[in-house]
Amino acid sequence: MAKQQEAIQAIRGMHDILPDQSPYWQWLENHARQVLAAYGYQEIRLPVVEKTELFKRSIGEVTDIVEKEMYTFEDRNGDSLTLRPEGTAGCLRACLEHGLLHNQSHRLWYYGPMFRHERPQKGRYRQFYQLGVETYGMPGPDVDAEMILLTDRLWKKIGIRGKVQLQINSLGDSAERAAYRSILVDYFRRHPDKLDADSLRRLETNPLRILDSKNPDMAELLQQGPVLLDHLGAESLAHFNGLTATLDELGVEYRLNTRLVRGLDYYGKTVFEWVTDELGSQGTICAGGRYDGLIEQLGGKANHAIGFAMGMERILALVEQLDNVRPEPAVDVYMIRVGAAAEKAGMLLAERIRDQIAGLRLQVNCGGGSFKSQFRKADKSGAAYAIILGDAEAERHEAALKSLRVEQEQSTLNHAELLRTLGDWHHNKTFN
């Protein structure tokens, strides 16, 4: 006898989405698709693997992602490839490669898994799903506001608007940022004793990221430090004021967070995050900003770009916590078949029902079983109705219909009556 093999498990931080969870995912995905369609955004589908160089050049060498989080490997040709840690770089690469940025504007979205070798914990995984949005060719700030309105609409639609807060900031242009960086570095150099080890290291590599520190011992130092917004030139300020004016006019509340710098190198001008305090330290559910400069960095002509990405697991965790979403059961009608004639007639009848009632979800019992055991499965399926077929019904071209959710006599119907009854029920359910 073969020795029982040890079972193989999934990779740490990479999760299966089981059938009882997938309705929540589909529910969120559908709402997101509808909102994106309402603003005229188009989907782009991108490879999961790209050349490592793409991420190094776009995200930046001294960021958390490139320094320590990428899944990089050599393929059989000896090329260095990386599982995408985010979607912005690949999306822009694709648009440049296919010439989509010549005198055109685009509003795009993509969806799929991203990979980062982080320490797995709640809300932080090694494979996680992002829905990302990127727009090209529009200088803003109108489209900057649109990004925020779109996300705001989605939060309202899925019922989490009351639990999330919008934070915004401006990073200015690269010259303003460089000037501010040296002012900031001077300031920190005057207080080396107040910087933790991480920040001392960042002082040399990516000093703006120090502003992001959550270390309470550094709070005061950061509080009293110079503020980037005070060092913006007229154009950047006008851009930022344009954005806040639109948000004010449309009644979108926001908090100015002068320490919001984002972890990636490519941002400039508008940056924003949607945060919640219901999810512990993994509280950012959506983040993005303007990255005009990245286009040239990847070999394109000077242009404009702004985008964001949302973390699906974190949004779903918030939804789950609020407990106000009940995904529908997967089945409307369950067909019970007992006897050889019933099994045959049932399969035919089921196909006829599916032909005639588009959208009705009908599951046929397969694998046999007594009336009793099939009824148990029907009930467990969550179906509203059971169609019951024995050989006697099959011979008379009839079927019994029983409501599984409301107290009601079982009725015996011919096929036409059955189709009409189910059709009416489905129509009412869909359109009421």
Which positions lie near ligand ATP, rule CB under 6 A? 86, 116, 118, 123-125, 128, 130, 263, 282, 284-287, 309-311, 313-314
Residue 198 CB, shortest distance to ligand ATP, in Å, is: 14
Give least dist CB 359 to ligand ATP, A. Answer: 33
Q: How far is the CB of 288 from ligand ATP (least distance, A)?
A: 7
For residues 224 and 250, what is the distance between their CA atoms, to the nearest angstrom?
A: 32
Nearer to ligand ATP, 313 or 398 (CB): 313
* Opening angle at CA 220, ends 268 and 185, nearest 5: 45
For ligand ATP, the closer of residues 130 and 135 by Cβ is 130
Nearer to ligand ATP, 233 or 280 (CB): 280
| Shortest separation between residue 113's beta carbon and ligand ATP, angstroms | 10
Nearer to ligand ATP, 314 or 361 (CB): 314
Minimum gap (Å) between residue 314 Cβ and ligand ATP: 5
CB of 268 to ligand ATP, least distance (A): 15
Nearer to ligand ATP, 117 or 344 (CB): 117
Q: Considering the complex, state which of residue 120 and residue 423 has its C-beta at the smaller distance from ligand ATP.
A: 120
Kindly state the smallest distance separating residue 201's Cβ from ligand ATP, in Å: 17
DSSP string, 376-409: HHHHHHT-SEEEEEEHHHHHTTEEEEEESSS---
Choose between 130 and 169: whose C-beta lies nearer to ligand ATP: 130
Structure tokens at 208: 């703006």
Q: Tell me whether residue 84 or residue 116 sits nearer to ligand ATP (CB atom).
A: 116
Position closest to ligand ATP via CB: 311
Taking the complex as a whole, how short is the minimal distance between the CB of residue 128 and ligand ATP, in angstroms? 3
362 close to 374: Cβ distance less than 8 angstroms: no
Query: Among 345, 339, 332, which residue's Cα sits nearest to residue 423?
Result: 332
- Provide, rounded to whole angstroms, the least separation between the CB of residue 116 and ligand ATP: 5
CA separation (Å) from 151 to 35, 88, 147, 274? 8, 17, 6, 9
Dump strand ranges (E) for 212-356: 255-256, 270-275, 284-290, 305-311, 333-338
Q: What is the DSSP string of 181-248?
A: HHHHHHHHHT-GGGS-HHHHHHHHH-GGGGGG---GGGHHHHHTS--GGGG--HHHHHHHHHHHHHHH
Task: Calculate the alpha carbon distances from 406 to 70, 378, 399 in Å.
Answer: 54, 14, 19
Select 313 or 393, whichever has its Cβ closest to ligand ATP: 313
Q: Is 299 exposed, middle or buried (0-12, 13-18, 19+ CB in 10 A)?
A: exposed
Q: In angstroms, what CA-CA distances link 350 with 72, 128, 353, 399?
A: 50, 38, 5, 11
Contact 270, 170 (CB under 8 A): yes
User: In a 10 Å sphere around its CB, with 0-12 CB exposed, 13-18 middle and 19+ buried, how is residue 363 labelled?
Assistant: middle
